[in-house]
Amino acid sequence: MTVMGDQFDSRISRRSMLCQAGAGFGALPLAWLLSNENVFAAAGSARVAHRPATAKSVIFLFMEGGPSQMDTFDPKPKLNELAGKPLPPGFKRVVLAMGEANAPLLPSQRKWKQHGESGIWVSDWLPEIAECVDDIAVIRSCWTNGINHSGGVCQMNTGTPLAGRPSLGAWVNYGLGTENQNLPAYVVMTDRDADPTNGPRNWGAGFMPAVYQGTKFHFGNEPIRNLNNPEGVDDAHQRSKLDLLAAMNRDHASTRELQTELDARIRSYELAFRMQAHAPEAINLAEETEETQKLYGLDQKKTESFGRCCLQARRLVERGVRFVQLYHGTGSKWDAHKGIERNHSDRCAESDKPVAGLLKDLKRRGLLDETLVVWGGEFGRTPMSEQGDGRDHNPTGFTMWMAGGGVKGGQTIGATDELGFHAIEDRLHVHDLHATILDLLGLDNMLLTYMHKGRPERPTQNEGAAYRKITGSDA
């Protein structure tokens, strides 16, 4: 039986009757599954994790373009000692593969100082973050496979340099759902009116249902547009329109079960309706005190843009949003093949205060213990020069850091060689980093599976292991 306006069409074929009856029997066990969150989590509902979690949410601060590790968190005196000379013999093979065989070593012009009770080294480019090092675990031994921006950004988001797999945020959304039915579970923001390399594929759901993909907030003062009803349309009228639209969409979708984008669109309409009542308050930064706004740098032109993103991220996790990703330097602005001094000076000046403000604000509100903050780019930079005063991409050894969410601060994990080129101690691949993030959220990267074309898919492609020493334990 189909519905057309107020009229019912009672015509039904024998085949349709048998099909619908069979589907009805199948709905009986499905109803039980849907009601049991230990077995199945409907999109948008909270789900039980594999083990006790130390983090409830994630804020991923993505420095797009690749910050230089030996100019920020990984000082290399030997690099300055050998400045202008070629790489020592042991590095030739890798350099040839990257097309930098004859490039001389480029010294770092940074001034370094140990900070906090932990004495972690931070360069003078990041004085504000340096004040927070006792809450930060600096990971100096990261490595990846993506050597260009497209592959690197793709892998840091999805685990592989090739497009098509779900993003880490989508896996978290699938695995845990949301604690807030009135806001998206997974939000993406940029510091510029642009998309990062690869665009929406970075926060896509890949082969999983589209409902798990991220929701991009618009750049600027109005991150969510069209929240208010048109003039003359009240909530009851809006509700009736959505009900009719949902009925039509579900009827259309009933014969197109594999097109998950339609189901995601239906759910997005429903979420948008709920957001009309709740989102305006969530994104209203004017509610914050002047002191808080200054803490994030909203009073300074240089830091206002990313400061707005960071403050918005705090307000979202405060309201139960599970995964927030912020892109700084959107459009590979951290890329510094030439003029790294000017490039990184600008990027650090834009992001240092907002990031430190986020850490300090989360901590004073009691949110840092349950919010995992991750900082890093798609790869690092080479110790050799490019074009005289720049550095090339370096996937073989770079620095990221984590704070909060059960992470033991004030520690340095792993090491690169004496020039900052290769990770040599406690090497952590992107799969290990993703497994660690999932582990802190209570998810086992090998148990979190999604059946795709008859095979179990996992977020780290059957690789990677959680680095549990990051919590301060010996496990």
- Mean pLDDT for the stretch of residues 28-49: 47
Which of 172-181, 202-211, 285-294, 375-384 comes out lowest in average pLDDT?
A: 172-181
Q: Give CA–CA dist 161/420, Å, rounded.
A: 23
Q: What is the CATH number of the domain that holds 97?
A: 3.40.720.10
pLDDT tens track for 331-365: 999 999 999 999 999 999 999 999 999 999 999 99
Pair 141, 28 in one domain:
no
pLDDT tens track for 432-466: 999 999 999 999 999 999 999 999 999 999 999 99
* Within a domain: 263: no
* Within a domain: 231: no
Pair 11, 89 in one domain:
no
Q: Give CA–CA dist 168/472, Å, rounded.
A: 24
Pair 424, 374 in one domain:
yes
Q: Residue 74: is its pLDDT beyond 80?
A: yes
pLDDT tens track for 428-439: 999 999 999 999
Q: Residue 146: is its pLDDT beyond 80?
A: yes
* Within a domain: 391: yes
> Which pLDDT band holds residue 27 (cuts at 50, 70, 90)?
very low
Q: Give CA–CA dist 416/279, Å, rounded.
A: 44
Pair 201, 178 in one domain:
yes
pLDDT at position 149 is: 97
For the chain, percent of residues with pLDDT exceeding 70: 78
Pair 198, 162 in one domain:
yes
Pair 16, 63 in one domain:
no
Q: Residue 39: is its pLDDT beyond 60?
A: no
- Mean pLDDT for the stretch of residues 11-29: 53
Pair 95, 17 in one domain:
no
pLDDT at position 117 is: 98
pLDDT tens track for 280-290: 788 899 999 99
Phi/psi at 455 (nearest 5 deg)? -130, 145
* Within a domain: 350: yes
Q: DSSP labels for 405-418?
A: TTPPPSEEE-EE-T
Q: Give CA–CA dist 125/132, Å, rounded.
A: 14
Q: Residue 225: is its pLDDT beyond 50?
A: yes
Pair 74, 212 in one domain:
yes
How much is the pTM? 0.84
Q: Give CA–CA dist 57/181, Å, rounded.
A: 15
Q: Which domain holds residue 14?
A: 1-35
> Which pLDDT band holds residue 246 (cuts at 50, 70, 90)?
low
Task: Show Cβ contacts of residue 116 under 8 Å, excluding neighbours closer than 6 positions.
Answer: 130, 131, 132, 133, 134, 410
Pair 142, 174 in one domain:
yes
pLDDT at position 247 is: 76
Q: Give CA–CA dist 145/159, Å, rounded.
A: 10
> Which pLDDT band holds residue 179 (cuts at 50, 70, 90)?
confident
Higher pLDDT, 193 or 47: 193
Q: Residue 86: is its pLDDT beyond 70?
A: yes
Q: Give CA–CA dist 7/45, Å, rounded.
A: 35
> Which pLDDT band holds residue 6 (cuts at 50, 70, 90)?
very low
Tell me the three state secondary structure of residue 194: coil
Crossing angle of the two packed helices 340-364 and 301-318, in degrees rounded to 10? 40
E runs forming strands in 131-204: 136-143, 186-190
> Which pLDDT band holds residue 84 (cuts at 50, 70, 90)?
very high
pLDDT at position 120 is: 98
Higher pLDDT, 230 or 122: 122
* Within a domain: 364: yes
Largest CA distance in the chain: 86
Which of 24-33, 122-131, 218-227, 409-418 comes out lowest in average pLDDT?
A: 24-33
Q: Give CA–CA dist 283/357, Å, rounded.
A: 18
* Within a domain: 232: no
In 3D space, the residue among 298, 300, 299, 301 whose CA is nearest the CA of residue 312 turns out to be: 298
pLDDT at position 222 is: 75
pLDDT tens track for 166-177: 999 999 999 999
pLDDT tens track for 383-405: 999 999 999 999 999 999 999 99
> Which pLDDT band holds residue 223 (cuts at 50, 70, 90)?
confident
For the chain, percent of residues with pLDDT exceeding 90: 69
Q: How many CB atoms lie within 10 A of CB 431?
A: 22
Pair 195, 344 in one domain:
yes
* Within a domain: 278: no
pLDDT tens track for 258-309: 566 666 666 665 665 565 656 778 889 999 999 999 999 999 999 999 999 9
Q: Residue 3: is its pLDDT beyond 80?
A: no
* Burial 433-459, CB ≥16 within 10 A → b, else e: bbbbbbbbbbbbbbebebeeeeeebbb
- Mean pLDDT for the stretch of residues 206-222: 90
pLDDT at position 224 is: 75
Pair 140, 2 in one domain:
no
Q: Could you give the number of structural domains in the chain?
A: 2
Pair 18, 55 in one domain:
no
Helices (H), 36-137: 77-81, 92-98, 127-130
pLDDT at position 220 is: 79
> Which pLDDT band holds residue 49 (cuts at 50, 70, 90)?
confident
* Within a domain: 445: yes
